[in-house]
């Protein structure tokens, strides 16, 4: 029985309700009156139910699809402006006891070199990341209680936050590790993590169990209920995701929205972010063996409808996607991207990286500077901001900021000031020049006069060497 308030995975992610929603949407997808009614309703920027959203995703009418894209772009602009937050993944360990069929870390894979970074190696990685200009990381590990216990993750977080190299600092560490206990989530919270990220991979229970045949990750309920345990452990910001290509996209699209509805109903706040990774080739993983791959066009529509359905939730695209695909989806809702990423353990500090310790092939191989330059050229403001988290604006407190209409007086200035840090400390001469032009122009648009003056003052102080201003 479907119950979004239930704490049981199979009740808040109800197979019956997902199938009924898809069937209803298939029946009504050409009912233009209904489709247009929902698009009209989304003008209040308050989001859509999973049923309304799947109907919009399946609708085939060209004009309606254009209206959905326009609404997505409008919401993106209202909530996130032209800012794109930048981060990088940091792989700490690829030891894994699970048997996930699509992941090269699966324990039976003997071709990949197994590695776990020492604290000294983490220092080197972090210095390399700081020298690129990164301020925000996503920690990644395989699941292995012996080789990669929670104490190791906690120690690594401490090491990362402690490194201050030149003007660099990692100011927010998000964590993407396997589902764990309330007690461990509490420890992660105490260690000062930003978002706890866990991809569901697929919400389809049978398919989930087939894809995760062995190891702790096999337990569907334990995995699906992880966000509730994280929130019980005090973590306000959680990041959901499905790995598109594993299952039927319609099922997972409804599933992730039901998950968001559940978190909102029970904890009063939905997911902070949603990631939309697509399956990639990797050692021992051949994408062509999976029949459910989604096209770029469909991917673009998924992003757009997600944007309309959950306006308060950030959407993340990684370097699994190419420059071209990233260009296709950025205007319709993406708020965070990774740049200059390596998916190898130790890949940032070592020149000759062992390619076969990588998790998957990346499609966007550009350096961070190239990504920043490209964003600027395309009218976006690359942001290295971590202010909300550091000012305690997590969970529903971030939403209060959005609801109070203070984004342009708060997030925008923070984005510009962190971009200035990047430009002064790390950018190539071309990117530096372009960034300063954009900062000058964008700062003029800050609505509140006092804030605007303060921003110009801080920008000036930064020329004198000061750093880390924020609202
Ligand atoms: N081990 C953690 C867990 O159990 O959730 C998560 C860390 S894993 C390094 C991060 C994510 O990479 C996984 O959740 C999965 O969605 C994704 N991934 C695994 N294999 C992939 C592949 N071949 N292509 C694209 N993404 C993949």
Q: Which of 395, 116, 372 shows the shortest CA–CA distance to 263? A: 395
Where is 338: in which H helix or E strand? Answer: strand 336-338
Residue nearest to atom 1 of ligand 1 (CA): 142
Alpha carbon 278 to its chain centroid, in Å, reads 13
Which residue carries 């800012």 as its tokens?
A: 83
Q: What percentage of the chain has pLDDT greater than the value 90?
A: 88
352: pLDDT strictly greater than 60: no
Give me the pLDDT at residue 353, please. Answer: 54
Residues 49 and 264 sit within 8 Å (Cβ to Cβ): no
Where is 125: in which H helix or E strand? Answer: helix 119-132
pLDDT digits (tens, 9 = 90+) for 388-425: 989 988 888 877 787 777 888 899 999 999 999 999 99
C-alpha 135/C-alpha 169 separation (Å) is 6
**What is the CA(28)–ligand 1 centre distance, in A?**
35
18: pLDDT strictly greater than 60: yes
**What is the CA(203)–ligand 1 centre distance, in A?**
15
Average of per-residue pLDDT across 131-158: 98
Res. 354 pLDDT band, cuts 50 70 90: low
Residue nearest to atom 26 of ligand 1 (CA): 279
Give me the pLDDT at residue 456, please. Answer: 97
Give me the pLDDT at residue 198, please. Answer: 98
Give me the pLDDT at residue 355, please. Answer: 57
Q: Which range is least confidently modeled, 175-184, 185-194, 408-417?
A: 408-417
- CA 326 to each of CA 111, 300, 336, 361, 389: distance values in angstroms, whole numbers, following the listed order: 31, 9, 11, 16, 26
Q: Which of 379, 273, 285, 354 shows the shortest CA–CA distance to 318? A: 273
pLDDT digits (tens, 9 = 90+) for 113-123: 999 999 999 99
Provide the mean pLDDT of the chain: 95
Q: Which atom of ligand 1 lies closest to the CA of 282?
A: 23
C-alpha 239/C-alpha 261 separation (Å) is 14
Give me the pLDDT at residue 356, please. Answer: 66
Residue nearest to atom 3 of ligand 1 (CA): 178
pLDDT digits (tens, 9 = 90+) for 56-82: 999 999 999 999 999 999 999 998 999
Which residue carries 């430009």 as its tokens?
A: 423
Average of per-residue pLDDT across 457-463: 97
Ligand 1 neighbours, Cβ below 6 Å, are 102-103, 140, 142-143, 176-178, 198-199, 201, 217, 243, 277, 279-280, 282, 285, 320, 359-360
**What is the CA(374)–ligand 1 centre distance, in A?**
27
Give me the pLDDT at residue 197, please. Answer: 98
pLDDT digits (tens, 9 = 90+) for 225-262: 999 999 999 999 999 999 999 989 999 999 999 999 99
């Amino acid at each position: 029985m479907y119950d979004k308030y239930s704490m049981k995975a199979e009740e808040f992610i109800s197979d019956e309700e997902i199938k009924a929603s898809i069937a209803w949407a298939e029946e009504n997808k050409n009912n233009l009156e209904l489709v247009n009614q929902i698009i009209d309703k989304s003008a209040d920027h308050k989001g859509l139910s999973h049923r309304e959203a799947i109907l919009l995703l399946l609708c085939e009418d060209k004009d309606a699809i254009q209206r959905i894209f326009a609404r997505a772009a409008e919401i993106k602009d209202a909530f996130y402006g032209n800012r794109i937050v930048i981060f990088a993944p940091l792989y700490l360990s690829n030891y894994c006891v699970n048997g996930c069929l699509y992941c090269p870390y699966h324990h039976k894979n003997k071709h990949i070199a197994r590695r776990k970074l020492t604290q000294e190696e983490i220092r080197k990685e972090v210095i390399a990341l700081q020298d690129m200009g990164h301020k925000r990381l996503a920690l990644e590990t395989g699941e292995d209680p012996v080789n990669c216990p929670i104490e190791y993750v906690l120690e690594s977080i401490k090491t990362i936050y402690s490194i201050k190299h030149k003007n660099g600092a990692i100011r927010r560490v998000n964590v993407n590790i396997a589902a764990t206990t309330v007690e461990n989530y509490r420890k992660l919270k105490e260690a000062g993590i930003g978002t706890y990220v866990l991809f569901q991979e697929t919400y389809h229970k049978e398919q989930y169990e087939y894809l995760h045949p062995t190891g702790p990750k096999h337990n569907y309920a334990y995995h699906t209920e992880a966000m509730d345990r994280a929130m019980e452990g005090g973590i306000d910001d959680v990041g959901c995701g499905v790995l598109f290509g594993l299952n039927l996209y319609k099922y997972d699209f409804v599933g992730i929205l039901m998950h968001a509805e559940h978190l909102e109903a029970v904890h009063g706040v939905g997911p902070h972010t949603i990631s939309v990774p697509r399956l990639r080739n990797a050692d021992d993983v051949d994408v062509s063996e999976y029949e459910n791959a989604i096209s770029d066009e469909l991917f673009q529509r998924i992003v757009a409808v997600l944007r309309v359905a959950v306006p308060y939730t950030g959407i993340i695209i990684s370097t699994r996607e190419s420059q071209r695909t990233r260009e296709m989806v950025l205007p319709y809702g993406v708020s965070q991207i990774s740049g200059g990423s390596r998916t190898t353990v130790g890949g940032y500090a070592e020149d000759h990286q062992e390619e076969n310790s990588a998790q998957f092939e990346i499609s966007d191989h550009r350096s961070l500077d190239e990504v920043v330059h490209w964003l600027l050229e395309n009218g976006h403001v690359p942001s290295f901001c971590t202010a909300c988290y550091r000012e305690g604006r997590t969970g529903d407190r971030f939403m209060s900021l959005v609801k109070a209409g203070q984004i342009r007086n708060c997030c925008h200035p923070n984005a510009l000031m962190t971009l200035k840090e990047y430009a002064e400390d790390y950018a190539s001469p071309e990117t530096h020049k372009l960034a300063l032009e954009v900062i000058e122009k964008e700062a003029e648009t800050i609505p509140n006069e006092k804030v605007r003056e303060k921003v110009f003052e801080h920008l000036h102080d930064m020329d004198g060497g000061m750093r880390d201003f924020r609202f």
